[in-house]
Amino acid sequence: MDSSNRSGTFIKQPYDYTAFIPKTLPPDPPLTIDFEIMTLLSKADRCLGRLDGITQTLPNPDLFVAMYVKKEAVLSSQIEGTQASLIDILDVSDPKSNEKVKDVEEVINYIHAMNYGLSRLKELPLSLRLFREIHEILLSGVRGCERSPGEFRSSQNWIGPPGCTLSTAVFVPPPPHEMLTALGELEKYFHSSDDIPPLIKIGLIHAQFETIHPFLDGNGRMGRLLITFWLCQQEILSQPLLYISYYFKMNKIEYYDRLMAVRKRGDWEDWIKFFLKGLAEVSAESTDTAKRILKMKEDHSKLVNTSVKNPANGLKLLEILFEHPVITINFVSQELSVSYPTANVLVSEFCELGILHHGSTAQRNRKYIYSSYVDILQAGTELTEKL
């Protein structure tokens, strides 16, 4: 059976280029859910279940969620080429002094877009309207802000290396009128009832969204946000503790190759296998991260209780560090409503205990880092290569 046009058709356009017109979901012929897919689906379900379960044990879920969102934002933005690291995002004491300020602003926009979308889902289901609202936040005041934030494209876009044209592009999404039709069908599919398991369904939706490429900029980030929003809307996750961008970043070439195989050969099955494997891997990684953080918090709480002169203030500072792992003495003074000398003594005690470390050599407004916490979270976000 020839499945080359199973997901859509490449059609010659008037200006001598070929664009891809996607077929509606679900795939036709239907997805073949073989033993390997069933095994991967079962594993992904179990891993996501464990991750959601550990959420219920977190002493202050909001603090952990805020950090997970920051990590996902950094990873997703790095895929697009930003050079901001997690520590750049955490150190917002003076953002204007950061030479990566534009990259930092892009990541912060992603955080705002994620938080806005999750809040909005309580009153508005996944929809094209919500996409536009989130996209406007994502591109506000940063690179791409001149490319119609919050609006679906009215011109042709394309994907390829810098300097390529429509005729030399790696992939050309559907032209605007076809794009709007495909988007409308995708929105219907969000809310359709079928026998396709939810984790497979969101894999199909993500690939279809990236193929439609409805915005002039920010499609990759929007497509990755879509995965988190779907999992939360379907109540598969009660909190967004999943950083799928980690898997896409580590397997960037295969990610793009699998998407292209869907378009060129209708190979939905291998894409779904790749996607389910990623959900399982990052869920297991996220669960392990949460466990390590909980154990560290327990150990440090005991240490503070037995070794700090004022344990009450010490425990308050420890709680603050889970939201603000990069601090100054002035910041501690303000947050705890204590004098500067009192804050200084407390920070010094934390340094002696090895909880805090000097983050700068400057004597004035010196920064201190909750290094053990940052090190756990920072795994996978180090910029060791140009993405």
Q: For residue range 86-144, what is the model confidence (pLDDT) as tens digits?
A: 777 777 544 444 446 677 888 888 889 989 999 999 998 999 999 999 999 999 887 76
In a domain, 26, yes or no: yes
Whole domain around residue 54: which residue ranges? Answer: 8-289
Please check whether residues 247 and 366 belong to one and the same domain.
no
If you ran DSSP here, which 8-state letter would residue 249 be given?
Answer: H
Distances (CA, A) of 45 to 38, 107, 236: 10, 29, 9
Cα 94 to Cα 96: distance, rounded to the nearest angstrom = 6
Q: Which residues are CB-neighbours of 122 under 8 A, at least 6 positions away? A: none
The label of the residue with tokens 């996220």 reads: 286
Question: Does residue 299 lie within any of the structural domains?
Answer: no
Q: Is the peptide bond before 26 cis (omega within 30 degrees of 0)?
A: yes
Residues 51 and 194 in one domain: yes
For the chain, what is the domain count?
A: 2
Greatest alpha-carbon span in the chain: 77
- The pLDDT score that the predictor gives to residue 2 is 46
Residues 270 and 350 in one domain: no
240 shares its domain with 146: yes
CATH no. for residue 52?
Answer: 1.10.3290.10
Residue 187 identity: E
Residue 338 lies in a domain: yes
**Final residue of a structural domain among 258, 289, 320:** 289
**130: in domain:** yes
Same domain, 366 and 317: yes
CATH number at residue 326: 1.10.10.10
Residue 1 lies in a domain: no
SS (H, E, C) 51-98: HHHHHCCCCCHHHHHHHHHHHHHHHHHHHCCCCCCHHHHHCCCCHHHC
Same domain, 273 and 237: yes
The answer as to whether 383 is a domain residue is no
| Residues 69 and 26 placed together within one structural domain of the fold | yes
Write down the pLDDT at residue 20.
97
158 and 281 in a common domain = yes
Q: Is residue 300 a part of any domain in this protein? A: no
SS3 231: helix
Tell me which of 243, 258, 289 is where a domain ends. Answer: 289
Is residue 150 included in any domain, yes or no?
Answer: yes
| 73 and 221 assigned to the same domain | yes
Tell me: do 118 and 49 sit in the same domain.
Answer: yes
Query: If residue 18 lies in a helix (H) or strand (E), which one and from where to where?
Result: strand 18-22
pLDDT for residue 1:
40
* Residue 75 φ then ψ, to 5°: -60, -45
Residue type, 387: L
Which of 229, 254, 289 represents a domain boundary (last residue)? 289
Segments in the chain below pLDDT 50: 1-2, 93-99, 383-387
According to DSSP, the residues that pair with 61 across neighbouring strands are: none
Q: What is the pLDDT of residue 361?
A: 59
What's the pLDDT at 120?
94
- CA dihedral defined by 316, 321, 324, 326, rounded to 10 degrees? 130
Are both 252 and 314 inside the same structural domain?
no
Is residue 167 domain-shared with residue 264, that is, in the same domain? yes
Q: Angle at CA 55, nearest 5°, toward 75 and 119?
A: 65
Closest CA to 346 of 325, 362, 329, 334: 329
| CA dihedral of residues 305, 308, 313, 315 (deg, nearest 10) | -40
